Homo-oligomer: A and B are copies of this chain.
Amino acid sequence: MGITSYYEFRDMRLNMLSKETIASWFITLQNSICESLEQVDGLGKFSEDFWQKNGSGRTRILQHGTIFEKGGVNFSEVFGKLSQQIAVKVLELPLTSITDISKLTFYATGISIVIHPNNPMVPIIHMNLRYFEMNNGSWWFGGGIDLTPHYIDLVDAAFFHNQLKLACDKHNPSYYAKFKEWADNYFFIPHRNETRGIGGIFFDRLTQSATTTKENLFAFIQEVGNLFAPTYIHLINKNKLLNYSSQQQMWQYLRRGRYVEFNLIYDRGTKFGLETNGQIESILMSLPEIASWLYNYIPEPSSPEEQTLKLLKKNIDWATQTPKQILEHYT
């Protein structure tokens, strides 16, 4: 028969943006990020595990490198029946949308990255990009990228947030402000009244609307994904040769303790993995090799550690305020 009109052609192309296409791109991204990180590390190599459990995945872990103490770059693709538990507690779907929940199945694919460096002057980074669809036709993209410095460097913070802002601005002028605020609220540890780090962007439930298509949204996801390696590598190269003391390493371990608290208590991806009986070693790859807890540890007044604590706040305008302005306001 052949294609007889532009509209038919367009519809065919839109249909090609299937879950398979999206998953394939996540795999390509996993390859390229792992290559870039191995190159910057020089010594460490990613191991590779394929697994099958309610879906399948490819877990890549690098341990004991020159730069990286422990990091994971994971691809996964899982599916199953949607339980009330998952729908309400994990996906936070409104109750009205799940009246016929017994008939719903889901498919989720994505890439998840957490990197814990050796040097406390190099920040921890996290990125997650995901695509979710249900058999009732609804679908969405979600994701985020956030930076957790053990010591906040305000120049690095401005660089990181400006990279994210530039990427967002190419797609929608309202994205950065909205997704930055979302990250402030998501990457927050209520019981400590601290943000996890300096935030970044976070978004969920991005779907087609009057102003955007699935292709537009996928292009945005790709923009964020492609930003990861160059942005993190800039921060690594700038800080990797800085000296540090055992006292500073202890502080790094304490901050990693907070990271563990966030991931085990609040992180939605971890919850989703545990609730769906996921591949446990892949889910918990986000945990550092070494973390520490000391009772009621309070940094010395005016120390860099205390300054970092004072900056673990929501609503700091990292991208456009000067370091001087930020310090005057918060410390």
Query: Residues of A with Cβ closer than 8 Å to B?
Result: 47, 49, 61, 63, 70, 72, 191-192, 253, 257, 260-261, 264-265, 274, 280-281, 283-285, 287-296
Q: Which of B63, B265, B292, B294 contacts A295 (CB 8 A)?
A: B63
Query: What's the nearest-Cβ distance from chain B to residue A282, in Å?
Result: 9
* Contact status A70-B295, CB under 8 Å: yes
* Contact status A61-B264, CB under 8 Å: no
Query: What's the nearest-Cβ distance from chain B to residue A275, in Å?
Result: 10
Query: What's the nearest-Cβ distance from chain B to residue A60, in Å?
Result: 10
Report chain B residues within 8 Å CB of A281: 295-296
* Contact status A290-B289, CB under 8 Å: no
- Give me 10 other A-B pairs in contact (C-beta within 8 A), A70-B294, A191-B274 excluded: A47-B295, A63-B295, A72-B295, A192-B280, A257-B287, A264-B265, A265-B265, A281-B295, A288-B293, A291-B292
Report chain B residues within 8 Å CB of A61: 295-296
In the bound complex, how far is the Cα of B293 from the Cα of A283, in angstroms?
12
Q: Which of B72, B264, B274, B296 contacts A260 (CB 8 A)?
A: B264
* Contact status A295-B290, CB under 8 Å: no
Interface pairs (14), CB distance under 8 Å: A191-B280, A191-B283, A192-B280, A260-B264, A260-B291, A261-B264, A265-B265, A288-B293, A289-B292, A289-B293, A289-B294, A290-B290, A291-B292, A291-B293
In the bound complex, how far is the Cα of B88 from the Cα of A254, in angstroms?
33
Q: Taking CB as reference atom, which chain B residue is nearest A295?
A: B61
Q: Taking CB as reference atom, which chain B residue is nearest A47?
A: B295
Report chain B residues within 8 Å CB of A290: 253, 290-292
In the bound complex, how far is the Cα of B243 from the Cα of A161, in angstroms?
51
Query: What's the nearest-Cβ distance from chain B to residue A133, in Å?
Result: 26
Query: What's the nearest-Cβ distance from chain B to residue A249, in Å?
Result: 12
Report chain B residues within 8 Å CB of A284: 261, 293
In the bound complex, how far is the Cα of B72 from the Cα of A293, in angstroms?
13
Report chain B residues within 8 Å CB of A289: 292-294
Query: What's the nearest-Cβ distance from chain B to residue A73, in Å?
Result: 12
* Contact status A287-B293, CB under 8 Å: yes
Report chain B residues within 8 Å CB of A261: 264, 284
Report chain B residues within 8 Å CB of A265: 264-265, 274
In the bound complex, how far is the Cα of B132 from the Cα of A153, in angstroms?
48
Report chain B residues within 8 Å CB of A253: 290
Q: Taking CB as reference atom, which chain B residue is nearest A281?
A: B296
In the bound complex, how far is the Cα of B264 from the Cα of A280, in angstroms?
16
Report chain B residues within 8 Å CB of A291: 260, 290-293
* Contact status A285-B274, CB under 8 Å: no
Report chain B residues within 8 Å CB of A283: 191
